[in-house]
Amino acid sequence: MKQNSLHTGFSFGLASGVITTLGLLIGLAFGTSNKLVVLGGILTIAISDALSDAFGVHISQESQAEHSSSDIWKSTISTFLSKLFFAGAFIIPVAMFDLWTAMFVSVIWGYLLIITFSCYLGKLQKTNMLSVVAEHVAVMTVVIILSYAVGVFVSKYL
């Protein structure tokens, strides 16, 4: 169970890194159509949100008596590093392609990451993998749709 703290941080960082960054990327792309703004947003998420999430995990685990100081710091650091990595990975397609192609590539990349990790979780928990994947894909899809809607709203009305 000692590696649980690393697993917690990694899991949180991956999920948050993918879903938060995709939401931001889509919202900014449809809201501004500006590649530089999208890149700046991703960089901001990769750094500030990674620090914020890591701090949130740290505080959350400190509030629970069953975590040792060492485990708390392992979760904190693994959350930060995984969030930084997974959020930062979306810089690559945005830097390489035009904004609309990058958005498509990013959505596919995000779904692949979430589906792969969801399969791993389903296997780890010895539960129905399909239900775990469906739940996580549904959440991600809602985030994508809402981010799109916000981006369109911003571009039309603000």
Q: What percent of the chain has pLDDT over 70?
A: 98
Q: Torsion-angle region of residue 34: left (phi > 0), alpha (psi -120 to 50) or beta?
A: beta
- What pLDDT is recorded for position 3? 53
Instruction: Please check the confidence at residue 2 and state whether its pLDDT lies above 60.
Output: no
| Domain segments of the chain as ranges | 4-157
Instruction: Please check the confidence at residue 134 and state whether its pLDDT lies above 90.
Output: yes
Distance CA 46, CA 11 (A): 16
Instruction: Please check the confidence at residue 1 and state whether its pLDDT lies above 50.
Output: no
Please state the pTM of the whole predicted model. 0.91
- What pLDDT is recorded for position 114? 97
Distance CA 23, CA 141 (A): 10
| Of 34-38, 69-73, 84-88, the least confident | 69-73
pLDDT confidence tier of residue 4, bands split at 50, 70 and 90: confident
Instruction: Please check the confidence at residue 52 and state whether its pLDDT lies above 70.
Output: yes
* Contact assessment for residue 14 and residue 86, using Cβ atoms and an 8 Å cutoff: yes
Enter the tokens of residue 19. 């879903």
* Contact assessment for residue 78 and residue 8, using Cβ atoms and an 8 Å cutoff: yes
The overall average pLDDT reported for the chain is 94
Enter the tokens of residue 1. 């169970």
* Contact assessment for residue 24 and residue 3, using Cβ atoms and an 8 Å cutoff: no
Q: Please, is 77 exposed, middle or buried when counting C-beta atoms within 10 Å of its C-beta (0-12, 13-18, 19+)?
A: middle
pLDDT tens digits, one per residue of 78-102: 999 999 999 999 999 999 999 999 9
Across the range 15-25, mean pLDDT stands at 96
Distance CA 123, CA 117 (A): 10
Amino acid at 61: Q
Across the range 5-30, mean pLDDT stands at 95
- What pLDDT is recorded for position 46? 96
